[in-house]
Structure 1
């Protein structure tokens, strides 16, 4: 039993039209024909969709959809999740069709983060063509990218993803945002890979689940040129920058973070590390970024300190 890759994400939106501008004009995704139920669908490769935007009563990340090998693997996973005490909903034929899959289940982790697991993927009838001329996104066997959630019951959730679902630990650090002194307990993180070369297909941070339902998702562009152009578009279009350009220690991705219309972030990056999942030895990095990645909260703190100093 194991997970192949992140296949798609499902997002609830009060105003789905905001996502069309964000995904097509900033990110470079391709608008696909709407779903039978009116949901907006967006592609970044040959799959029928990678982002599904459903009209709803709030702006919220609904679920990350992960692929497993076949029907038998899905059945075994459903049994394991139920045995772990989590609710499992077997998807109807109509629900499966809406995801472009053969079969699926819906559930959540012990912190309540939304998950779907499926087997039997499908490709679109037409080639992927980015409206911005982007040649391709890095997907294939590595899947769409990754999703990052938060969990106050961190250890319980890590155990769920590893022991029940079948993800594998890649990097298991503890970051000390307060300097690591005696009054700084630090924050646990877990970066876990699926059965492919992407450094992590899911990650967890220790803390409360945000109102948006997720911390961030990640899409990988083919090179730094495309990342830089996307960064320029973000600034020109007025979207909030959540973190400046930088490079991570653990997966070596070079990129930036932008706030999505639902409030969680989108990481847009390139040059990510490809691991050998069969031989990888777990790491424990001591920092988030080798360079860059000044976060919006860090900027806000600096501004507040400067304003306080100026007022004295």
Structure 2
């Protein structure tokens, strides 16, 4: 009983126009017809939508939607989630259809992170056409990309995703993220039943005000990543981490702050694993090169001012 892939994400915002500009003019995704309830839907491939931006009063990452194999698997998963003490709220047929799903239920993990589990995945024959000429995104069987959350009750949250939902451990490191004298923080990179290195990941710490740490979209080439980096600078969007390459999933890319406050990782050349034979790793570093984070730069600037 496992997860096929990350299907979509749901985001609440009081700034829909800012999100529309960010997604269409910077990222290069395609706006689809709005949902019946007024939410803006965006495509990156042949799925009816991958990003749902719904109007609200706050900036909040509502949920990551993960696809399972079929209705029987979904029903079994709902029983397991309820037995683990987590809520199971079934969507109406109308709401499920609006998510491009046959059936789905809402839940949260032990840290309170929002999740939607669903079966059935609606596709469209209408071609994906980026408004700025992006040729496409790397999806297919590997799904949208990945979502990263925080969990203060780290071990309990990871056990839920592994033992109840059926994710699998890919890389389980601990880092002294803030230097050798800083606290040791646990991280968990978990894969679904596909070749993407991780479809969900967690850092040990409080849930951020935005409800998530980041989501990742994969572009087909380094050239497209570089062009996106140029667009980020042209639009003056805040760069959360400079260009770099990760150790564990080998992704080359950068991070930019979204209008919702969490980050978007845009990368390419990500490692493809064999989910049936992968042996859990415990890497000791975050990046092979690059990835100077905004907080690191701020600390350098502060130290320079004090010198």
State TM-score, norm by structure 2. 0.99
Shift of 1:94: 1.4
2:263 match: 265
Shift of 1:163: 0.2
Match for residue 212 of structure 1 among 194, 205, 210 = 210
SS of match in other structure, 1:158: helix
Q: CA RMSD in A?
A: 0.7
Q: Does 1:111 align with 2:111?
A: yes
SS of match in other structure, 1:8: strand
**Distance in 1 separating the partners of 2:125 and 2:200:** 29
SS of match in other structure, 1:196: coil
Match for residue 240 of structure 1 among 235, 238, 252 = 238
**Distance in 2 separating the partners of 1:116 and 1:177:** 30
SS of match in other structure, 1:121: coil
Deviations 1:266-287 (A, max 9, x none): 0000000000001101000001
Unpaired segments ≥5 residues, structure 2: none
1:160 match: 160
Q: Does 1:97 align with 2:68?
A: no
2:251 match: 253
Shift of 1:177: 2.1
**Distance in 2 separating the partners of 1:280 and 1:200:** 12
1:197 match: 195
**Distance in 2 separating the partners of 1:106 and 1:305:** 46
Q: Does 1:18 align with 2:18?
A: yes
Q: Does 1:225 align with 2:223?
A: yes
Task: Show the 5 A alignment for 1:298-309.
Answer: 298-309=296-307
Shift of 1:195: 0.1
**Distance in 1 separating the partners of 2:4 and 2:282:** 24
Deviations 1:78-123 (A, max 9, x none): 0000000001101101110110110000000000000000000011
Deviations 1:29-84 (A, max 9, x none): 00101001110000000000000000001011000000000000000000000000
SS of match in other structure, 1:285: coil
Task: Show the 5 A alignment for 1:79-94.
Answer: 79-94=79-94
The ranges of structure 1 where at least 4 consecutive aligned residues each deviate by more than 3 angstroms after the TM superposition are 178-181
SS of match in other structure, 2:106: strand
**Distance in 1 separating the partners of 2:232 and 2:124:** 28
**Distance in 1 separating the partners of 2:95 and 2:177:** 42
